[in-house]
Amino acid sequence: MPRNKGTETMTVTRRTLLAAAGTLAAPALVRAQGSAPIRIGEINSYTAVPAFTLPYRNGWQLAVEQVNAAGGVLGRKIEVVSRDDAGKPQDAIRLAGELVNEQKVDLLSGGFLSNVGLALSDYAKQNKKLFIAGEPLTDALVWSDGHRYCYRLRPSTYMQAAMLVDDAAKLPGTRWVTVAPNYEYGQSAVKWFKLLLAKKRPDVTFIGEQWPALGKIDAGATVAALEAAKPDNIFNVTFGGDLTNFVRAGNTRGLFEKRGVVSVLTGEPEYLEPLGEETPTGWIVTGYPVESVINTTNTAFIAAYKARFKEMPKMGSVVGFALITSIVAGIAKTGAVDTEKMADSFAGASFDTPFGRAMWRKQDHQGTLGTYVGKTAVKDGHGVMVDWRYVDGAGALPTDAEVAKLRQG
Amino acid sequence: MDFVVVQALTGLAGASSLFLVAAGLTVIFGVTRVVNFAHGSLYMLGAYIGWSILTRLPRDPAWFAAGVLLAALATAALGALLEMGLLRRIYRAPELLQLLATFGVVLMVQDAALYLWGPDELTLPRPPWLRGFVAVAGSRFPLFDLVLIGVGPLVLGLLWLLLARTRFGVLLRAATQDREMVAALGVDQTVLFTVVFALGAGLAGLGGVLSLPDGSANLHIDLDVITDAFVVVVVGGMGSLPGAFLAALLIGELQAFGIVLLPKITLVLVFLVMAVVLVFRPHGLLGRPQAVARGAAEALALVRPAVPALRWLGLAVLALALAAPLFAGPYLLSVLTEMLVAVLFAASLHFMMGPGGMASFGHAAWFGIGAYAAALATHALAAPMPAGLLLAPLAAGAAAGLFGWFIVRLSGVYLAMLTLAFAQIVWAVVFQWDAVTGGDNGILGVWPARWAGDPRVYYLLALALCGGAAMLLRRVLYAPFGYALRATRDSPLRAEAIGLHAGRIRLAAFALAGAAAGLAGGVFAYAKGSVFPTYIAVGHSVDALVAVLLGGVQTIAGPVVGALAYTALFDALLTTSFWRFKLGAFIVLLVLFFPAGIAGAAQRLWERGRPA
Amino acid sequence: MSVLAVSGLGKSFGAVRAVDGVSFAVAAGEMLALIGPNGAGKSTCFNMLNGQIRPETGRILLGGRDITGLPPRRVWRLGVGRTFQITATFASMSVRENVQAALLSFHRRVWRWWRPARGYFAAEADALLDQVGMRAQGDRAAGVLAYGDLKRLELAIALANGPTLLLMDEPTAGMAPAERVALMALARRLAGERGIAVLFTEHDMDVVFGVADRILVLDRGRVIAEGDGVAIRADARVRAVYLGSGATSGGH
């Protein structure tokens, strides 16, 4: 968190005190001149989910540096004031207050966990401040609880399910089972998948479901229970540590053999890498094939990222990067940092992401950033995505009429 | 039928893993009486160290076994260091303070592991023999799970041999039954305790490294494991190894079959088992009533009316609090509002924990029920804010009264664990029951009524409600009821012999504390505009516990001071890097140097040189 | 009529018959000592009388009313005060507050939430403390008292409900000889003045023979002798079972 860099090692001498006083006074002066940096408040669960948020932080830092090197936006530099919510929505709300009232940020952004995203969105609605959600997947964010001050970048739970349904519908066999963490995300992913698949394949039946508690999967028993149902295909929503355990138990017990598996998010490097050489092959997944995507935007992004952080980007890095470019594009389109104007004018703004061009939808403030759909494979002992294609977010959403209905709650 | 066999075997493997974790915890508790919250951290360290070792070794079974033992030994060594550096110094401290210190260690280890091993999940590549299986009843059953099924009883057997057939074991059992006697016989307890702690830590490390083939080393396993381990130990009876084994079997099998029959209930199931066992067998399956440690009747501080200087200080703080809206901005006001909520939350816990002698690990349950009552009233019933704020304490008080009926009959750690069980059940229901509670996504739009929308107005309302309720609790402590409550804590025997119905008094105190926590939850819900399952999570209960102990459990002003200090400290640290490590270190140092808490230390300073 | 009348009282712990068909009575103003070697069943007997242990057989009548099996708090309310072998007082309260707590319970003022407890029955508490010679120590913490003082405090607490029957379990254990005599003289005086029936167990034979009106000797759960000091001293079975067991005056 940049604000704190160096403060701990500073030795206090009269000179540093003077210098400190100078920097403290400076923003107010410059602000008066209208060229102070645009301040973006950012809140995320840095300590609670470091595996995602640390690459994510790298991503937005890279974007901020690039934007500022190119002269900023509206002739002003941008500056991100970042906070750690420790995974607790109640803390996120307090920090939002601090960012808005004390740090005087021009807008809020961030979030990984759905509940933190919703808490921040509700704060934004109540306090009439713009909030740009990066990662939170819950549909509620732009639909049932959507409002004019909230935008969301990533493909939602619905969109993830919808992107997978085309390939899922092509699988032979009609008997499906589902396994999903027992909370809102898992529940809605399963709900949408069942609904959308049934539309394309009226002949399928769902013959069993497993709902392991989040982070506490009893993988052996879960796999045995799924196996006992003798399904043709499996829909998986578990992720992280649960996914690792599930895959290992499933591999040993042969659950995935001769069965189609459709799995949400599993192709993201965050979740694929830990599977290593045990990555099951042929799963239909959403994710990010990183290096194998060769096009101008992604290749340039990877090169810059590697140069800056000496490691490969992950999905979080893309979200962090695109979060900043989407905000900058919105501000540029608005021509001001006035909340009401931005709330109106972000809609329709298009922006560059490592995945290509995307835009903010007018109807529900959902970003059209898509994701990759492909199959899992093992290469040199590492899990990779093959046979992938990019699915634009715009194509994975319900009709405008349906959205309007969902948005009414 | 075939499926039943496979699932039963799977349950056995799960039971073995559970037993490995619980065995160390129960051994440590049995001898040192320390409830080691950091046991999960040792397990996590075992997994990480195991990963570091095993990924550098050849991948055949012999090397694997050597690596596993090495990792267990390394964890045992870390355990010994922990014992010598910290726990040894606080054996004489009250149980809860020891728990608090080990909680500080948990925080420190979390950041240390993040620093050393990075944020990514670490998996151990499995050689083919680790992926092997045998055909059982037409299904594949993992070879490694068979090994696990053997390891549990093997460890139990070895521990039994150690306890029954060696001089060390005799001393250990003697120390379990009568610490003072062993000391009187001239046995060097210092070494004994260090060895026991190392043994327990080694078992935790063994559990951790053995979890690698089926899972991964990651930063979440410490807290995941510790609740499981606590449940097993408590269900089995604290300090009882066969009890832990039995409990692990029971829970492992229930888990394996519960998944099939009621796939959505697994999270609740475990805690339901614990609650049922504790209701019928208050000391667990094979546990015995805790021998009251001689001389444990720690000098309990007299509760005297505040001295004039303190009264003036209190009035000054109150005046400052009332004047805050004149000078504070909206953010500071929101922080102050949160502090007020924290004060009432801590004061309500202190009410039952200090004067009532009933420590709770699940106090957030009542806070959360209050918050959800308010939110649901606003949402489902479209009730106005005052109605929500009224409903919050009523609902929480009623729930506390209901659960309390089971809880107040227990004492000590068992009581604390039953509160934890109930809180976890409430949490799991709220977290998973999306249709009513909104699940993980919570309930939004619980903002204050228009007249209280201004942060200044809401702050004053919070001051009136939280400050008022905290004052009321304080008043009750000085009133006859407070004396009766303390009487039941100081000497249950005497209390009963002077006609006090201890059960009823404790239950009333429990319900009152619950209602006050519920009010805090209600005020918090409107302050935040939303409610989430995190309000009920273990972490939130621990927050209250830390606040009370930080302030000093034996002083009336303790919870107030503690809540203010803890909230301020947390806010200050949260914006720095590695804040968990700093917070943990702070807690550890506090326990070491100010065991009576801030207010307790201040009181001692004040009383120095004055007649007692 | 006797204040306390016990008939056929019995209780076993596993195979051990701790109390076996014990019957006796105590009259108002009378001091009855219950003696016997260790394990004779004195404490079990005591604990059944005040309701801590439920008897398996027999009846306990208090002023003619059957109190068998009632919990201690009900027994207390019917006018039975008790002191414990190992003192049980409220360590976080002052001496006066200890007595006040008992008075609050006696006057049914426990479920009061507002007025500070210090204001309730302070004078009455002081009067009780005065009787046991503890008034000067009223403000001291009970947790720091000397053992003899604790015993006297217990007596004051036991008197708070104006008992008709006082049960004193080893009232002088751990006290200096001079203190013992003083305490039992006090009990004697109170029994006489207020017409309280006192039942006490005691190891110190000087105390027993000095103050008891009557003595009941238990051995292995049974009453083996009953009578005044002279009769007990002369009883051959008592000499064989009790005095022969090695315990003599002042022993433990």
Q: pLDDT per residue over B118-167, tens digit each? A: 988 899 998 888 888 998 878 889 999 999 999 999 999 999 999 888 88
pLDDT confidence of residue B235: 92
Q: Does residue B57 share a domain with residue B171?
A: yes
pLDDT band at A19 (very low <50, low <70, confident <90, very high): very low
Interchain CB distance below 8 Å, B493 and C88: yes
Contact partners, residue C42, CB within 8 Å, separation at least 6: C34, C35, C36, C169, C201, C218
Residue B22 lies in a domain: yes
Residue C205 lies in a domain: yes
Contact partners, residue B418, CB within 8 Å, separation at least 6: B274, B275, B278, B279, B406, B407, B410
**How far apart (Å, rounded) are the C-alpha atoms in residues B78 and B201?**
8
Interchain CB distance below 8 Å, B577 and A4: yes
Closest-CA residue of B relative to A95 is B331
**Which chains have at least 3 CB atom pairs separated by less than 8 Å from chain B?**
A, C
State which of B162, B193, B220 marks the end of a domain: B220
pLDDT confidence of residue B413: 80
Q: Does C89 touch chain B (CB under 8 A)?
A: yes
Q: Are A263 and A285 in contact (CB under 8 A)?
A: yes
* Tens-digit pLDDT profile for residues B461-489: 999 999 999 999 999 999 999 999 999 99
- 3-state SS, one letter per residue, for B432-448: HCHHHHCHHHCEEEECC
Interchain CB distance below 8 Å, B529 and A122: yes
Give the pLDDT mean for B402-421: 87
> Which letter does DSSP use for residue C66 in this model?
E
Interchain CB distance below 8 Å, A215 and B331: no
**How far apart (Å, rounded) are the C-alpha atoms in residues B391 and B436?**
17
The range of the structural domain enclosing residue C77 comes to 4-245
Give the pLDDT mean for C140-153: 88
Residues of chain A contacting B126 with CB distance shorter than 8 Å: 248, 278
Residue C23 lies in a domain: yes
Residue C89 lies in a domain: yes
Q: How many CB atoms lie within 10 A of CB B182?
A: 21
ipTM of the complex, rounded to two decimals: 0.90
* Tens-digit pLDDT profile for residues A189-231: 999 999 999 999 999 999 999 999 888 888 998 999 999 899 9
Return the amino acid letter for C99.
V
Closest-CA residue of A relative to B453 is A126
Q: How many CB pairs under 8 A join A and B?
A: 214
Pinpoint the alpha helices (H) of chain C: 42-49, 72-77, 95-106, 122-131, 147-158, 177-194, 205-211, 229-234, 236-241
CA atoms within 13 A on the CB side of A210: 33
Does the pLDDT of residue A31 top 50, yes or no? no
Closest-CA residue of C relative to B473 is C113
> Which letter does DSSP use for residue A367 in this model?
B
To the nearest whole Å, the CA of A229 is away from the closest chain B CA by 10
Interchain CB distance below 8 Å, B299 and C82: no
CA B21 to chain centre: 17
Residue B458 lies in a domain: yes
pLDDT confidence of residue A34: 65
Q: What separation in angstroms does the CA of C11 have from each of B167, C58, C60, C71, C202? A: 39, 9, 13, 16, 21
Give the pLDDT mean for B213-225: 89
Give the pLDDT mean for B170-174: 80
Q: Does C137 touch chain B (CB under 8 A)?
A: no
Give the pLDDT mean for C103-117: 93
**How far apart (Å, rounded) are the C-alpha atoms in residues B296 and B73?**
34
For each of the domains in chain A, give its residue range(s) and CATH number, in order of start: 2-156+294-370 (3.40.50.2300), 158-292+372-407 (3.40.50.2300)
Closest-CA residue of B relative to C116 is B479
**How far apart (Å, rounded) are the C-alpha atoms in residues B251 and A216?**
14
Element holding A57 (H helix, E strand): helix A50-69
Most confident range, picked from A8-17, A129-138, B431-440: A129-138
Q: Does B482 touch chain C (CB under 8 A)?
A: yes
Interchain CB distance below 8 Å, B479 and C118: no
Return the amino acid letter for C247.
A
SS3 B29: helix
- 3-state SS, one letter per residue, for B104-117: HHHHHHHHHHHHHH
Q: Does B494 touch chain C (CB under 8 A)?
A: yes
Q: Does B125 touch chain C (CB under 8 A)?
A: no
Residue B169 lies in a domain: yes
**How far apart (Å, rounded) are the C-alpha atoms in residues B342 and B345?**
5
Token pair for residue B282? 């208050």
Interchain CB distance below 8 Å, C114 and B479: yes
Interchain CB distance below 8 Å, A218 and B575: no
Interchain CB distance below 8 Å, A244 and B574: no
Closest-CA residue of C relative to B299 is C143
State which of B202, B220, B238 marks the end of a domain: B220
Give the N- to C-terminal CA distance of chain A in Å, as an integer.
Answer: 37
Q: Are A60 and A48 in contact (CB under 8 A)?
A: no
Q: Does C91 touch chain B (CB under 8 A)?
A: yes
Q: How many CB atoms lie within 10 A of CB B564?
A: 21
* Tens-digit pLDDT profile for residues A84-127: 998 899 999 999 999 999 999 999 999 999 899 999 999 999 99
Return the amino acid letter for B506.
R
Interchain CB distance below 8 Å, B297 and C118: no
Interchain CB distance below 8 Å, B120 and A276: no
Does the pLDDT of residue C15 top 90, yes or no? no
pLDDT confidence of residue B31: 82
Q: Does B612 touch chain C (CB under 8 A)?
A: yes
CATH of residue B409: 1.10.3470
Token pair for residue B441? 């996504």
Return the amino acid letter for C229.
G
Residues of chain B contacting C115 with CB distance shorter than 8 Å: 479-480
Token pair for residue C2? 């006797």
Residues of chain B contacting A89 with CB distance shorter than 8 Å: 442, 528, 530, 532, 534
Residues of chain A contacting B444 with CB distance shorter than 8 Å: 118-119, 121-122, 145
Token pair for residue C7? 């008939």
pLDDT confidence of residue A30: 42
Domain count within chain C: 1
Among candidates B301, B484, B493 on the partner chain, residue whose Cβ is nearest the Cβ of C84: B493
The range of the structural domain enclosing residue B595 comes to 308-607
pLDDT confidence of residue B294: 36
Residues of chain B contacting C85 with CB distance shorter than 8 Å: none
Q: Does residue B215 share a domain with residue B326?
A: no
**How far apart (Å, rounded) are the C-alpha atoms in residues C47 and B80?**
46
Interchain CB distance below 8 Å, B498 and C94: no
Token pair for residue A25? 């006074």
Does the pLDDT of residue C179 top 90, yes or no? no
To the nearest whole Å, the CA of B509 is away from the closest chain C CA by 11
Domain count within chain B: 2
Radius of gyration over every alpha carbon of chain B, rounded to an integer in angstroms: 25
To the nearest whole Å, the CA of B434 is away from the closest chain A CA by 6
Does the pLDDT of residue A305 top 50, yes or no? yes
**Which chains have at least 3 CB atom pairs separated by less than 8 Å from chain C?**
B
SS3 A230: coil
Contact partners, residue B496, CB within 8 Å, separation at least 6: B502, C52, C71, C72, C73
Choose among B364, B402, B414, B346: nearest CA to B531. Answer: B364
Does the pLDDT of residue B65 top 90, yes or no? yes
Residue C237 lies in a domain: yes
- b/e string for B445-478 if b means 16 or more Cβ within 10 A? ebbbbeebeebebbbbbbbebbbebbebbbebbb
State which of B220, B246, B280 marks the end of a domain: B220
* Tens-digit pLDDT profile for residues B290-347: 654 433 344 456 677 777 888 888 889 899 999 999 998 899 999 999 999 999 999 9
Does the pLDDT of residue C251 top 50, yes or no? no
Residue C60 lies in a domain: yes
Residues of chain C contacting B469 with CB distance shorter than 8 Å: none
Q: What separation in angstroms does the CA of B193 have from each of A404, B182, B200, B207, C230? A: 67, 12, 10, 21, 57
* Tens-digit pLDDT profile for residues B579-601: 999 999 988 998 888 888 888 88
Query: C touches A (3+ CB pairs < 8 Å)?
Result: no
Residue C252 lies in a domain: no
> Mean pLDDT, chain B, as a whole number?
89
| Long-range contacts from B446-450, C-beta under 8 angstroms, 24+ separation | B446/B374, B446/B375, B446/B378, B446/B379, B446/B388, B446/B525, B446/B526, B446/B528, B446/B529, B446/B530, B446/B531, B447/A126, B447/B526, B447/B529, B448/B385, B448/B526, B448/B527, B449/B384, B449/B385, B449/B386
Helix then strand count (H, E) for chain C reads: 9, 10
**How far apart (Å, rounded) are the C-alpha atoms in residues B362 and B339?**
20
**How far apart (Å, rounded) are the C-alpha atoms in residues A115 and A132?**
14
Q: What percent of chain B has pLDDT over 90?
A: 53
Residue C251 lies in a domain: no
Q: What separation in angstroms does the CA of A306 have from each of A291, B451, C105, C188? A: 11, 54, 76, 95
**How far apart (Å, rounded) are the C-alpha atoms in residues A109 and A98?**
14
Residues of chain B contacting A219 with CB distance shorter than 8 Å: 214-215
Contact partners, residue B336, CB within 8 Å, separation at least 6: B321, B324, B328, B459
Q: Does C61 touch chain B (CB under 8 A)?
A: no
Residue B562 lies in a domain: yes
Give the pLDDT mean for A257-265: 96
Q: What separation in angstroms does the CA of A265 have from each of A223, A268, A269, B112? A: 20, 6, 9, 29
Give the N- to C-terminal CA distance of chain B in Å, as an integer.
Answer: 73
CATH of residue C141: 3.40.50.300
Residue C140 lies in a domain: yes
